[in-house]
């Protein structure tokens, strides 16, 4: 079974402060990990995926297989980063590319 | 290019009533999914489809049925609505072999009273 855990439901930081959204997963095979973001009144959209090892909007995430974690980080938070963030895992094509989502973390960046 | 369109956007049902949520995509995606979003529980997969005429159960399928008669449409049915089905429902589609290619609809907010 695949499972994703985001231990923080709410996270509040000040503008310019570093931010880290935690994500832990359990999966017996080689997972694909993603971060999705949902801004207020908008649909979910992909933020980044571990395979691409890219930085989007200043966010990065590194897959740590030893700790089974995929934490999302940004060195200097901006007010426009306020949103709901979901970590998600896919078991790949054999599972119909289904995504298993974490509980979500509501990030608030205060001015 | 509309992407993924969900109808209706809002609905209030009485307990025991039935309804169908429609998801339509114009990207020729093979895979389609229905999720429900509840506070503190994230998104949970209800049913999904890997192609026209095929459906499969997800994590929380009880109380829901689905059909994929046409490749572009994925219908979610509630035969006898219950208050526990009050939620926001999201449809998504994806091209085969691209887990990162999920495109989400804007959601349907359903309240069962």
Phi–psi pair at B10, nearest 5 degrees: -140, 150
Give residue A28's pLDDT.
Answer: 83
Nearest one of A48, A1, A49 to A25, comparing CA atoms: A1
- B25, pLDDT greater than 80: yes
| Beta-carbon contacts of residue A32 (< 8 Å; ≥ 6 apart) | A49, A50, A51, A89, A90, A91, A92, B99, B100
Give residue B97's pLDDT.
Answer: 66
Q: Does A104 touch chain B (CB under 8 A)?
A: yes
pLDDT digits (tens, 9 = 90+) for A41-52: 889 999 988 877
Q: Does A31 touch chain B (CB under 8 A)?
A: no
Give residue A22's pLDDT.
Answer: 97
* Count of C-beta atoms within a 10 Å radius of residue A24: 17
Nearest to A99 among B41, B99, B106 (CB): B99
Most confident of A4-13, A29-38, B100-109: A4-13
Q: For chain B, give the percent of residues with pLDDT over 90.
A: 87
Pair A89, A33: CB distance under 8 Å: yes
Report the alpha-carbon distance of residue B93 to residue B71 in Å, rounded. Answer: 11
* Nearest residue in chain A measured CA to CA from B33: A98
B60 three-class SS? coil
């Amino acid at each position: 079974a695949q499972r994703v855990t985001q231990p923080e439901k709410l996270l509040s930081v000040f503008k310019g402060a570093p931010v880290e959204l935690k994500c832990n997963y359990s999966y017996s095979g080689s997972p694909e990990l993603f971060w999705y973001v949902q801004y207020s009144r908008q649909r979910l959209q992909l933020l980044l995926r571990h395979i691409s090892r890219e930085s989007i909007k200043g966010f990065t995430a590194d897959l740590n297989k030893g700790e089974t974690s995929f934490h999302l980080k940004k060195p200097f938070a901006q007010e426009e980063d306020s949103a709901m963030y979901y970590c998600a895992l896919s078991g790949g094509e054999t599972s119909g590319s289904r995504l298993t989502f974490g509980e979500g973390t509501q990030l608030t960046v205060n001015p | 290019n509309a992407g993924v369109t969900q109808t209706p956007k809002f609905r209030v049902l009485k307990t025991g009533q039935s309804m169908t949520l429609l998801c339509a995509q114009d990207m020729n995606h093979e895979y389609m999914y229905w999720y429900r979003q509840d506070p503190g529980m994230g998104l949970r997969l209800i049913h999904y489809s890997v192609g026209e005429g095929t459906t499969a159960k997800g994590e929380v399928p009880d109380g829901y049925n689905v059909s994929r008669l046409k490749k572009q449409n994925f219908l979610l049915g509630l035969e006898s609505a219950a208050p526990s089905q009050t939620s926001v429902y999201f449809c998504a589609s994806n091209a085969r072999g691209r887990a990162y290619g999920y495109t989400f609809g804007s959601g349907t907010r359903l309240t069962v009273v």
